[in-house]
């Protein structure tokens, strides 16, 4: 289970580096929920793919997850750690957004472990305009 989750996380990171939002969304369960840093609540793979695609279009070039905790809880797996999102912005160069994350992994019908709830909590508060 831990190896499969690790592999899926690596696939998510690679897909972002390659600008492939569809593959990034593929590591999520069909009914997954993502609470994005800007406070948007995303439901399902289509919205999650659109979220990653929008990031890529804005210059998202890499995401890194550094897991600190992986624990089985009631048939699911909780993962907690640190993340870094790298964005190449035309006017300011490379910007790195860092924070903490929490993922609830669930085993889906085909037996694979997928991200079912993903929460990002940035270190720096964002100003909404």
Measured CA distances, 6 to 27, 53, 57, 69, 115 (Å): 11, 22, 26, 12, 11
> pTM for the complete prediction?
0.89
Per-residue pLDDT tens, the chain, 129 aa: give them.
889 999 999 999 999 999 999 999 999 999 999 998 877 799 999 999 999 999 999 999 999 999 999 999 999 999 999 999 999 877 778 889 999 999 999 999 999 999 999 999 999 765 444
Rounded to an integer, what distance in angstroms lies between the CA atom of residue 120 and that of residue 101?
5
Rounded to an integer, what distance in angstroms lies between the CA atom of residue 3 and that of residue 19?
24
Q: Which of 50, 51, 35, 37 is nearest to 123 (CA)?
A: 37
**Quick one: tokens of 36?**
């994005």
């Amino acid at each position: 289970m831990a190896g499969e989750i690790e592999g899926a996380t690596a696939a998510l990171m690679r897909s972002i580096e390659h600008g492939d939002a569809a593959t990034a969304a593929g590591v999520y369960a069909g009914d997954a929920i993502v609470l994005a840093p800007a406070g948007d609540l995303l439901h399902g793979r289509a919205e999650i793919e659109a979220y990653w695609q929008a990031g890529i279009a804005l210059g998202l070039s890499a995401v890194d997850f550094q897991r600190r905790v992986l624990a089985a809880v009631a048939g699911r797996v909780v993962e907690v750690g640190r993340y870094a999102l790298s964005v190449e912005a035309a006017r300011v160069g490379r910007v790195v957004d860092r924070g903490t994350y929490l993922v609830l992994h669930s085993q889906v019908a085909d037996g694979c472990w997928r991200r079912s709830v993903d929460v990002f909590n940035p270190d720096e508060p964002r100003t909404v305009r």
